[in-house]
Amino acid sequence: MFHPTTRRFALGGLAAAGLAVATLAPLTTTASAEEKFIIVQSTTSTENSGLFKHLLPLFSDETGIEVRVVAVGTGQAIKNAQNCDGDVLFVHAKSAEEKFVADGYGVKRTDVMYNDFVIVGPKSDPAGVKGTKDVSAALKTISDKAAPFASRGDDSGTHKAELRLWQAAGVDPTAASGSWYRETGSGMGPTLNSAAGMNAYALTDRATWIAFQNKGDLEIAVEGDDRLFNQYGIILVSSDKCANVKADLGQTFVDWVLSSEGQAAIADFKLDGQQLFFPNADKSAS
């Protein structure tokens, strides 16, 4: 993580006091070039899916701006941005993002893209929910049968979505914490590894699931419910709250992601022939 007091490069002292003043010009130019980067606080799915490896070189080649990504759970990404440890926030928990803006930490929130969540589970399907499209009914059955369920438990966007879904099902899974309900306190990849290791169900975003290599005996059990919709948003951090924000460079990144070029690049990102994210900035703007 980058702290606001350490994230800007400083010029070193002159090698000798007798150096000509003209020497300062190339040094200043070099420092400016080194400073042409931004920090994007984002979620693990945008990083682990490979989306940023696809997008960022395209953006950097066009603008000369380097993007350094801090990939953590959405809740932590928002906290980092509130601590002025970032220029742009790119996450997936809309209500929390809107609060971030309402509290003055963000300039404006805009939809970028979406995909969906799925519930994966062992092929043996101990809860008998495979093929169910009603996510509330599936979660209620998992709870009733005390079938193992691995939760991220990390205040990420996925974890927030999972808790909303449990609430809609009329279940408080935390009451069973440590028994059939296991909170890993870690990212999506490690949580899926845990689910594979203990034949448990888990909620995951589809992009991470497609990119995940250690599926083991897991497969998609529940998908297709409208409540599994997964929206991503982008926000420029406010310089009113964080004086160190590189507002111009950050806005350049936001504008590019929302542009027809950036949106097309998101749509072009595929793994195994499957599109992982679906751009919808135009719909948000309208």
- Provide the angle, in degrees to the nearest 10, between the axes of the packed helices 260-268 and 247-258: 60
**Are domains 21-114+231-285 and 117-228 of this chain identical in fold?**
yes
The pair of three-digit structure tokens given for residue 139, joined into one six-digit string: 């979660």
User: What does CATH list as the number for 21-114+231-285?
Assistant: 3.40.190.10
Q: Domain map of the chain by residue range?
A: 21-114+231-285, 117-228
Task: List the alpha helices (DSSP H) in the chain.
Answer: 24-34, 44-48, 51-63, 74-82, 94-102, 135-144, 157-168, 188-197, 206-211, 247-258, 260-268, 281-285
pLDDT at residue 15 greater than cutoff 80 = no
> Given this model, what pLDDT does residue 241 score?
97
282: confidence class by pLDDT, cuts 50, 70, 90: confident
Phi, then psi, of 10 in degrees rounded to 5:
-120, 150
pLDDT tens string 184-218: 999 999 999 999 999 999 999 999 999 999 999 99
Average pLDDT, integer, range 162-177? 97
pLDDT in tens, 46-63: 998 999 999 999 999 999
Give residue 34's pLDDT: 55
CATH code, 117-228: 3.40.190.10
Residue 120 near residue 216 (C-beta atoms within 8 A): no
- Determine contact, residues 218/201, Cβ cutoff 8 Å: no
90 vs 81: CA distance, rounded Å: 10
Give residue-wise pLDDT tens across range 218-229.
999 999 999 999
Q: In the predicted model, is pLDDT for residue 145 greater than 90? A: yes
What integer pLDDT is reported at residue 284 of this predicted model? 55
For 241-264, how does the pLDDT look when each residue is reduced to its tens digit (9 = 90+)? 999 999 999 999 999 999 999 999
Q: Which two tokens stand for residue 167?
A: 């609430």
Kindly indicate the confidence band of residue 283, based on its pLDDT and cuts at 50, 70 and 90. confident
pLDDT in tens, 260-272: 999 999 999 999 9
Q: What is this structure's pTM?
A: 0.84
Contact (Cβ atoms closer than 8 angstroms) between residue 256 and residue 281: no
DSSP assignment string, 17-37 = TTS-GGGHHHHHHHHHHHT-E
pLDDT at 12 over 60: no
Provide the mean pLDDT of the chain: 89
